[in-house]
Amino acid sequence: MRWRYAGAVALLGPMLSGMGLVACDGGSDGPSAPKVAAPAVAPAAAFRVVYRVEDTAGPELRISTNVIQVGLPWNSLVEQRDGPPPGGTVLLSRVQNQRFAFDAAQGSSGFATRRIPGALAAAPSLEVLESAEAAGLVERAGEGTVAGEPCTRWTYLGVNKVLAKGTAEERVEACITRDGVPLREAITLRGKLARLSEAVQVERNPPVTADTFQTARDPGTEGDKGLLETEQQVTEEKQTGKDIVLVTAPEGFRGSRQVSVLRQAGANSPPIGLYIQAFESGSDLVTTEQVTTPGSPPWSAEEGTAVDLGGKRTGKIVYRSGWAEVRVSVEGKSVRVTSSRPTVAVAVAKTLTL
């Protein structure tokens, strides 16, 4: 079977609704909205960084330019440009807004996909890194300065992987400001430096137009080729019923998206159904993802560190550089709660009821 796409397709690799607080008709009998303290350091809600990139994995040095622009909690722009900064031709690009992702390569018209709610990979989280450090999963390697900005150096295993300690053969060293702006990333593979990205220009609260993140564009109106077709279907809808896990968002958060996903890994694989809810407050976003079809979830229930969720319930918390995932079973229903703030993810996981 083939459906009109609704997910995320990564071109760039290591480059980087309702208004109620209670979802799924939790009602007054559900848990009270949890209170979560504000972060010690407010993250930069909007920033743009230009990087000089040196690739040394091949037979000769290649220099290029990367540009990242972020507008939390939904929007991001990532570009790979030819040559050193400020860069020339855009070779690859990805733009994400609340509902869509737009990918393009040099010489192509590109394609659009319907985005599933989730954290931005281009925006690291200080709270996540500090929590992972406390769990012994990453190391703080001291302080640094890049492009005139002070930053903290962190080392861990790899890009786009669950956080774990790096090794002499494979590791990433990232230098990140206190408000979460990534300034430097050095990737070691097979014991040698393979790629170095260093900021040469940093701008907070850069100017934004409707074109920056293509927020006014609806690819669904652009004809048959407006949206890429893949083995996944996404529908904006609210689900209710006795089999839907109820979610209570923290105080100050509002529901912004409710999405049903039906995907099939292969021709002989059974479809997997997911129901995803997104809640936001300023630059903060938390999502819940529950499996609605029989079978195992598309994530490991064993991976991660045990976390107490109260009421004799435990879950596993998994860290990535930009977000934390709390994976839990609620009366046999598999649920994953994701946020760039681990305290928010845990608070929401504690409210889950069936």
Write down the pLDDT at residue 225: 62
Find where tokens 């893949």 sit.
Answer: 230
Contact 246/352 with Cβ under 8 angstroms? yes
Condensed to tens digits (0 to 9), the pLDDT of residues 54-85 reads 999 888 999 999 999 999 999 999 999 999 99
What average pLDDT does this structure show over 26-30? 53
DSSP 248: B
pLDDT of res. 9: 36
| Alpha-carbon gap, residue 81 to 106, rounded angstroms | 10
The structure's pTM equals 0.89
Residue 243 sits in the same domain as residue 106: no
Q: Please tell me whether residues 69 and 200 are part of one structural domain.
A: yes
The model's pLDDT over 300-349, given as tens digits with 9 standing for 90+, comes to: 988 999 999 988 888 999 999 999 999 999 999 999 999 999 999 999 99
pLDDT at residue 160, rounded to an integer: 86
Are residues 181 and 290 located together in one domain of the fold?
A: no
pLDDT tens, position by position, 79-125: 999 999 999 999 999 999 999 999 999 877 788 988 999 999 999 99
Ranges 23-32, 209-218, 223-232, most confident: 209-218
The DSSP H or E segment spanning 302 is: none
Are 99 and 126 in the same domain?
yes
Q: Please give the pLDDT value at position 301.
A: 84
* pLDDT given at position 25: 39
Same domain, 200 and 54: yes
Residues 200, 197: Cα–Cα separation, whole Å: 10
Q: How does residue 232 score in pLDDT terms, banded at 50, 70 and 90?
A: confident
In angstroms, how far is the first alpha carbon of the chain from the final one?
A: 32
**Residues 305, 286 share a domain:** yes
Contact 337, 288 (CB under 8 A): yes
Residue with tokens 């009998």: 29
Per-residue pLDDT at 263:
87
- By DSSP bridging, strand 139-146 and strand 111-114 are unpaired
Instruction: Tell me whether residue 214 is in a domain.
Output: no
List, for residues 181-193, the tens digit of each pLDDT value.
Answer: 999 999 999 999 9
- What phi-psi label fits residue 295: left (phi over 0), alpha (psi between -120 and 50 degrees) or beta? left
State the pLDDT confidence band at 26, using cuts at 50, 70 and 90: very low
Looking at the structure, do residues 264 and 181 belong to the same domain, yes or no?
A: no
ω before 73 within 30° of 0 (cis)?
Answer: yes
Pairing of strands 75-82, 90-96: antiparallel
What pLDDT is recorded for position 305? 94
Average pLDDT, the chain: 89
58 and 25 belong to one structural domain: no
Contact between 326 and 307 (Cβ < 8 Å) = yes
Domain encompassing residue 278: 3-39+229-349
Write the DSSP symbol of residue 270. P
pLDDT tier for residue 270 given thresholds of 50, 70 and 90: confident
Which CATH number do you get for residue 190? Answer: 2.50.20.10
- pLDDT number for residue 123: 96
Residue 9 lies in a domain: yes
Residues 116 and 169 grouped into a single domain = yes
Collect all residues with Cβ–Cβ distance below 8 Å to 79 and sequence separation of at least 6.
Answer: 66, 67, 68, 87, 90, 92, 93
Please state the domain count of the chain.
2
| E strand or H helix that includes residue 279 | strand 272-281
- Considering the domain architecture, whether residues 83 and 196 belong to the same structural domain is answered as yes
Under the phi-then-psi rule, with left for phi > 0, alpha for psi from -120 to 50, and beta for the rest, what region is 252?
left
Of residues 51 and 30, which shows the higher confidence score?
A: 51
The answer to whether residue 224 is domain-embedded is no
Quick one: pLDDT at residue 20? 31
Any domain includes 253: yes
Reduce the secondary structure of 77-113 to three states and give it as a string: EEEEEECCCCCCCEEEEEEECCCEEEEEECCCCCEEE
Q: Count of H helices and E strands in the chain?
A: 2, 21
Q: Give yes or no for a contact between 4 and 225, defined as CB atoms under 8 angstroms apart.
A: no
Per-residue pLDDT tens over the stretch 143-179: 999 999 999 999 999 988 999 999 999 999 999 999 9
pLDDT at res. 64? 98
